[in-house]
A and B are shown apart, each in its own frame.
Chain A
Amino acid sequence: MYVAVKGGEAAIDAAHQLLAAKRRGDAAVPELSLAQIEQQLALAVDRVMTEGSIYDRRLAALAIKQARGDLVEAIFLLRAYRTTLPRLAESLPLDTTNAVLQRRISATFKDLPGGQVLGGTFDYTHRLLDFGLAEAELGSESEPGTKSGPDPAPGIEAPASSRPADAAPPPRVLEILNAEDLIERETPDDTPPPDLTREPLTFPASRAVRLQNLARGDEGFLLSLGYSTQRGYGRNHPFAGEIRTGAVTVEIVPEELGFPVVIGEITVTECEMVNQFSGSATEAARFTRGYGLVFGEAERKAMAMALVDRALRAKELGEDVSAPAQDEEFVLYHSDSVEASGFVQHLKLPHYVDFQAELNVLRRIRQGMAPPATATADEESDA
């Protein structure tokens, strides 16, 4: 005999206890500290901060630890915390031109003022598993503070401070093109950008809104969309004009002071794509731009974002809107990992009632048909 399913509360409590135990793993293995995550899983921290829309390495590390390394879950944790925070001030636009650079490359010019600075990058590593790292970990386990892994060569540091304080910052690559009028001009727009976390998305969306959405968007989704433009679905001939990673100061203007004060320094990665544009009847041909900006060193995301930003400008630039990456409703409505992950996974929730309703309809349809009935209801597959 059927017994009504009771005990949801007890089951949930037990599930939470089990989750806590699974998160900790084998108690014989030392527990991860937030400092270790911050320092040694720095790129995971960067991604979680970027898509979580909050620059706080320690909170991001906490979220990664709590989420058992599931970055999408960590992003969700950080977002849910972020919504509770008051908005105290708005910063001035970041001045990335004056960033203290640790990396700066351009794929469009062999050499240029300020030079090419590789920084610490995976780019030219051979992707061979370094078994030395595994051995070092074993050796250092019992003695915290001793060295683990091969030492970096002495004297190697991020070249951040190598530029003399009085030297001019390296010019922006796209400004070099701008000086020749070969690229579209970015005209400053002083209208305050809407806040996507406070106001719902509406269409057509301004570029400021689109960029906010992309900055918070899922890296995997943007990567695939950006890739699709390179394979011909909305091709726009991109060149990596400039990619720079560096520390920028964040400034606000307190009302009672009336002048900007620095409240901190954050590391960001910026990507400016240079894209072809054939011109139109009224305009001479010139290059166009795509822009990406992320927290930390999430460079792949910055590049994908710049490709998709440019693709979404198709209508504004008079191009055909035919590919998924150019379709702003498609891109902006589906980019958010927190929304996507929640809705995909809500299919785990009970759907007894709708399913029962569908069963009734399907049985009725099949009753009315000569056997063997094969038709199915034109069903709506939702929630």
Chain B
Amino acid sequence: MIGGYNFAYLDEQTKRMIRRALLKAVAIPGYQVPFGSREMPLPYGWGTGGIQVTASIIGTDDTLKVIDQGADDTTNAVSIRRFFARTTGVRTTERTTDATVIQTRHRIPETKLRDDQIIVFQVPIPEPLRWLEPRETETRRMHAYADYAVMHVRLYEDVARFGHIATAYDYPVIVNGRYLMRPSPIPKFDNPKLDFCPALMLFGAGREKRIYAVPPYTSVKSLDFEDHPFRIESWDSRCALCGSGDSFLDEVITDDHGGRMFVCSDTDYCSGRRGQAAAE
């Protein structure tokens, strides 16, 4: 562990301030709570919100998993995992089932989460209405009145232009029947995992200085229309490594003649399946 810094880098007063914001966020599911985000030794936009949330909830007996794009070995995931290994000395793991705290960017693990786990999302832009209304003063008012018509219109415009809703990721959801929420840029493939998830889900946006949460077993509904119900994407191929047909697949270009293959984005899920297959 690195000397000269407090456990998990942040001082205890700051952690307490963040935990207060987290409590408020859990009490009002989907509501964005402003908090006194700190400058971290990693750049804004690189996960500082998630890092601050993790730092304020992590304890010595936790086991931490960090993923980026579903993978444990992408450079920024490695960097964040190392940061916590250096500043807390807690155990780290790549196995979803072994982790008590999972910090993620852009994915929810394929393995079903449990009620003794917390998943922390890194959020770049917390405001779901931001592309429709750039002003914070306006969007806060719209949330206060639950005035979400513009989002429905935007989805309808997709239907009118393309025949279906063309939003692929960061697909807007309504939490607990009240607040419109941006599920951080996870692919819409992961949206169903949010609904009545047993794990506590915490969202941290460092640069934008907002925290929000979805408590365990809370309704999270992806916006849709009766005649255009929400649908997740599917692939024609299976994972080339583990053969999975029900996980989110990354496309990998293998040569410059149009050759490509698809592999699981969740590296732990994929290697777990391959290990099982080898054992059988």
Interface residues of chain A, those whose CB is within 8 Å of chain B, are 1-2, 4-9, 11-12, 76, 79-80, 82-84, 86, 197-204, 329, 333, 338-339, 341-346, 349-354, 356-361, 364-365, 368, 375, 377-378, 380, 382-383
Whether B43 and A352, one on each chain, are in contact in the complex, defined by CB atoms closer than 8 angstroms, is no
Whether B124 and A4, one on each chain, are in contact in the complex, defined by CB atoms closer than 8 angstroms, is no
A353 and B137 alpha carbons, distance in the complex (Å): 32
Q: A2-B254, A380-B167 are in contact. Are A346 and B233 (CB under 8 A)?
A: no
Whether A358 and B169, one on each chain, are in contact in the complex, defined by CB atoms closer than 8 angstroms, is yes
Report the nearest B residue to A199, measured CB to CB. Answer: B36
A58 and B137 alpha carbons, distance in the complex (Å): 41
The residues of B that contact A198 with a CB separation of less than 8 Å are: 36
Per-residue CB contact flags for chain B residues 159-199 toward chain A (1 = under 8 Å, else 0) read 00111101111100000000000000111110000000000
A142 and B188 alpha carbons, distance in the complex (Å): 65
A356 and B186 alpha carbons, distance in the complex (Å): 11
The residues of A that contact B220 with a CB separation of less than 8 Å are: none
Please name 15 further chain A to chain B contacts, defined as beta carbons within 8 Å, in addition to the given A9-B82, A350-B68, sorted by A numbering.
A83-B40, A197-B38, A200-B210, A203-B136, A339-B45, A341-B44, A343-B124, A350-B75, A353-B106, A353-B169, A353-B265, A359-B251, A368-B163, A382-B124, A382-B125
Whether A4 and B241, one on each chain, are in contact in the complex, defined by CB atoms closer than 8 angstroms, is yes
The residues of A that contact B106 with a CB separation of less than 8 Å are: 351, 353-354
Q: Is the interface on chain B under 10, 10 to 19, 20 to 34, or 35 or more residues?
A: 35 or more
From B36, B186, B252, give the contact of A2 (CB < 8 A): B252
The residues of B that contact A6 with a CB separation of less than 8 Å are: 73
Q: A8-B73, A12-B78, A83-B39 are in contact. Are A358 and B263 (CB under 8 A)?
A: no
Whether A352 and B169, one on each chain, are in contact in the complex, defined by CB atoms closer than 8 angstroms, is no
Shortest beta-carbon distance, A20 to chain B, in Å?
17
Whether A365 and B162, one on each chain, are in contact in the complex, defined by CB atoms closer than 8 angstroms, is yes
Shortest beta-carbon distance, B22 to chain A, in Å?
15
The residues of A that contact B68 with a CB separation of less than 8 Å are: 349-350
Whether B185 and A354, one on each chain, are in contact in the complex, defined by CB atoms closer than 8 angstroms, is yes
Report the nearest A residue to B207, measured CB to CB. Answer: A339
Q: Mind listing 29 A-B residue pairs with CB under 8 Å? A: A2-B240, A2-B263, A4-B241, A4-B267, A6-B73, A8-B75, A12-B75, A83-B38, A197-B39, A341-B44, A342-B43, A343-B45, A346-B46, A349-B46, A350-B69, A352-B69, A353-B70, A353-B248, A353-B250, A354-B170, A356-B187, A356-B250, A356-B265, A357-B189, A361-B167, A361-B168, A375-B162, A378-B166, A382-B131
The residues of B that contact A346 with a CB separation of less than 8 Å are: 43-46, 124
The residues of B that contact A342 with a CB separation of less than 8 Å are: 43-46, 48, 207
Shortest beta-carbon distance, B25 to chain A, in Å?
14
**Most B-side CB within 10 Å, residue of A83, A86, A338, A364:** A83
